[in-house]
Amino acid sequence: MTTDIKRTRVLQGAALMVSAAVALVGSGAAVAAAPGHVDGGRDPVMRDVARQVLSVGVPGYVARIDYGRKVGVTLAGVADRRDGRKLTVRDQFEVGSNTKTFTAVLALQLVDQGKLRLDSPVEKYLPGVVPNGRNITVRMLLQHTSGLFNYTADPDFFVDIDKRPQHVHTENELLAVAFKHAPNFAPGTDWAYSNTNYILIGMVLQKLTGRSLPALVEQRIAAPLGLVNTYFADPRAINTGPGYARGYSVSFAGTSPVYTDVSARPLGGWAGAAGAVISTPAELSRFFEALLGGDLISAEQLKQMKTTVELGEGFGEGGYGLGLMRIDSPCGTVWGHGGDTLGHHSAAVTTENGRRSAVTDATAEPSDTSPNEGVLRFVKVVQAADTVTICRMLDKPAPQAVMDALRS
């Protein structure tokens, strides 16, 4: 599976999975990564996947695969390193840029209602906010063809977060970071993943509806689908006790991994409409199944959502639609997204008819700002694990090269 919010700067050229969320230099006592336990599931391949993921320093890992007629769950490691509480399939976690699909659904619902037009300029909805906003359409924002600089790619952004970890950024603060940089290209002429696009879509949604993003997610997606543990962090997760998978920023620069628990940081205060949703494996699966099954937007808007442009170099095989990715895996084409936060790597995919799905979460994210063996192995193994999971969902064997990468 591939992902996206924008991960460590040293990984920017890797596949979309590893170009996802964030970079933050970790701190804390050095401890050795333990293999941990592996529970649940009768699939020996997925149990092997879980063991390999834990072996690269991930505290906890969950994979939930809906095969259409049955559901398989594989669990490994702990949800909380402090007390050793085992991870469960019911635990909430930060879904990162899977949030973009939620945000895109909210936008397309407004298109269905005639309140928003995909090919209207953002200047119409946010006058004076976006440089060259007359030439950047809503569609370009949703599809990452606007050319706007990605605020999380600013070299000082995560350094500043490290200095003020509890600071809640306003949308205008995030845009100020983005707009001090020149655009990557002229609007509509290329593709480049940018969280800035979705901060702007979130602002448009709030202006047109008069409602907050937490309210919109609850009222228009979570409540209709019966998702009781899915919500927009405002600005933090509201359940960080038992039943919550804590996330860890990990540095591999020393002789042993160094873990920093980043769970209490205000995800909604820096990721916003680009990455601030909290969910569970079952509920995130339900969301993507409902979307591809036609339960959330009209057939016309789903068609628009699935109309893709070519991904940029280093972002894997497939295409990007309107907040939805087409992933051309070695075992077949699936649809979904993925996400990384300061402490989680997750991926969510479904078949085109929404009848099968898979969601995974690894409760760690590399924080190193220069390449090292630990980071590279983490990336290689977790990326391979995502691909194997897609293949298991499709009832196909993963290519030997992928299995070799998993066990590297």
In 93-214, the DSSP E strands lie at: 93-94
- Quick one: which H or E segment has residue 337? strand 332-340
Task: Name the maximum alpha-carbon separation found in the chain.
Answer: 58
Catalytic residue (one of 27, 55, 97, 370): 97
Give the relative orientation of helices 99-112 and 195-209 as an angle to the nearest 10 degrees: 40
State the Cα–Cα distance between residues 180 and 150, nearest whole angstrom.
Answer: 11
Burial 187-204 (b: 16+ CB within 10 A, else e): bbeebbbbbbbbbbbbbb
Half-sphere exposure of 58 (CA within 13 A, CB side): 34
Output b/e per residue, 30-46; b: 16+ Cβ within 10 A.
eeebeebebbbbebebb
Nearest to residue 325, comparing CAs of 291, 375, 360, 361?
A: 291
Could you tell me which residues are beta bridge partners of residue 364? 248
By the 8 A CB rule, do 94 and 278 touch? Answer: yes
Q: Are strands 85-86 and 60-66 parallel, antiparallel or unpaired?
A: unpaired
Counting every residue written for the chain, the total comes to: 408
Report how far residue 45's alpha carbon sits from residue 131's, in angstroms, rounded to the nearest whole number. Answer: 50
Asked about 55 being catalytic, the answer comes back as no
Instruction: Report whether 100 contacts 341 (CB < 8 A).
Output: no
Which residues are marked as active site?
97
